[in-house]
Amino acid sequence: MKEKNLNEIIENQEKKPEGLIFPCQYPVKALGNNTNSFVEEMLFIAQKHCKETKDCDVKCRQSRNGKYQSVTINVKAKSREQLESLFAELKLHNDVKWLL
């Protein structure tokens, strides 16, 4: 068995891609106030950035007390920049309290 030296190991690690490999499916989760339009507004923003997103890509749940709602939208992301712009716009929404 051939033993690799430290320089070969470091070089191979540097060649590996970091993080996500695009395109990919990515779940975007937003927690916000439970308003009548929260889900529709989150979907609208997701569709602006990821045009292929459909109604069937959305799952939502209300908190126990009904004050908050979580929305998970599975988007097909084509680049890190696309995801960053989606998250930036979602953060600006008045009803969004938390993003993942």
Residue 93 belongs to domain with CATH number: 3.30.70.260
Is 15 contained in some domain? no
- Banded model confidence at residue 1, pLDDT cuts 50, 70, 90: very low
The arithmetic mean of pLDDT across residues 50-71, rounded, is 96
Dist. CA 69–CA 35, nearest whole Å = 8
* Continuous segment of H or E residues that includes residue 43: helix 38-49
Domain holding 70, by residue range, is: 26-99
Total count of domains within the chain: 1
CA 77 to chain centre: 8
2 or 50: which carries more pLDDT confidence?
50
Is 14 contained in some domain? no
- Banded model confidence at residue 87, pLDDT cuts 50, 70, 90: very high
- Banded model confidence at residue 52, pLDDT cuts 50, 70, 90: very high
Query: Mind listing the pLDDT tens digit for each residue in 24-35?
Result: 999 999 999 999
